[in-house]
Amino acid sequence: MLKHRVIPALLLQNGGLVKTLKFKTPKYVGDPINAIRIFNEKEVDELMVLDISASKKTQEPDYALIERFASECFMPLTYGGGITHLNQAGRIFSLGVEKICLQTASLDNPHLVAQLAERFGSQSVVVSIDVKRNWMGKPQLFGAAQGNPQPTHWLEMAQQLVQAGAGEVLLNAVDRDGTLQGPDIELVQEASAKITVPLIAVGGVSSLDDIKALVDAGASAVAAGAFFVFHGPHRAVLITYPRYHELEALFTSKEFVKSSRNLETK
């Protein structure tokens, strides 16, 4: 088993699979069930499915669709979108989902994270911290449902949610989302120095080298969307995933092992 997870992050809108660009202009890229089946064949270790329209529209999670996802998945599944209370989370877990991911609800009600962690365990609760840089390059907490910056400092919010019981933090660089232009390494370095639970970095990944750079910067895992669904300069839809031996070589190279040891001794 690989020491660091590499996770496809699929976005849903109205039941279809989409990909956004800097959290805007979602482009339809296909049937999510078909994508899950392809990732099964490619022996992906973990999968993340996020419904980007549920919270915006204050809709309930689509339990029937989630059940189909869970029944098709041969790997651990994380689901996010529209979760606002314990009963919803319990129903989603009962369908076979291993983890839930909160963004809007955790910003509105951090106490919900504590309630979820107490009932289902911290290992089942992921919080998404979306960060967008302003015109001066300063990172700010971004509310995806509201579509604007939030007053709380992004790192303080992450620490608060971890203290409440979140078992993982998904750090999303909004400005890099869907760009395939490289990740925000500085953001990950800053977060990894302060966050005490596993950090999943997402946004901008365009190569295996980017994945390695994020782990070198302190990420415990790397998630990506466009990198796994687009191919070529014209962004043709083609679902891919690195072969196991490629990831194994990436994470066991002498340079990588040395950098990982340096991170462990910080």
86, with CB counted inside 10 A (0-12, 13-18, 19+), is middle
Residues 6+ away with beta carbon under 8 Å from 248: 2
* Distance between CA atoms of residues 179 and 205, nearest Å: 8
DSSP 234-262: TTEE------HHHHHHHHHSHHHHHHHHH
* Distance between CA atoms of residues 241 and 47, nearest Å: 12
Q: Catalytic: which of 45, 62, 130, 210?
A: 130
* Distance between CA atoms of residues 219 and 198, nearest Å: 7
Q: Please confirm, yes or no, whether 175 is among the known catalytic residues.
A: no
C-alpha 161, offset from chain centre: 16
* Distance between CA atoms of residues 145 and 101, nearest Å: 14
Q: How far is CA 177 from CA 53, 149, 260, in A?
A: 17, 16, 26
Q: Provide the annotated active-site residues.
A: 130
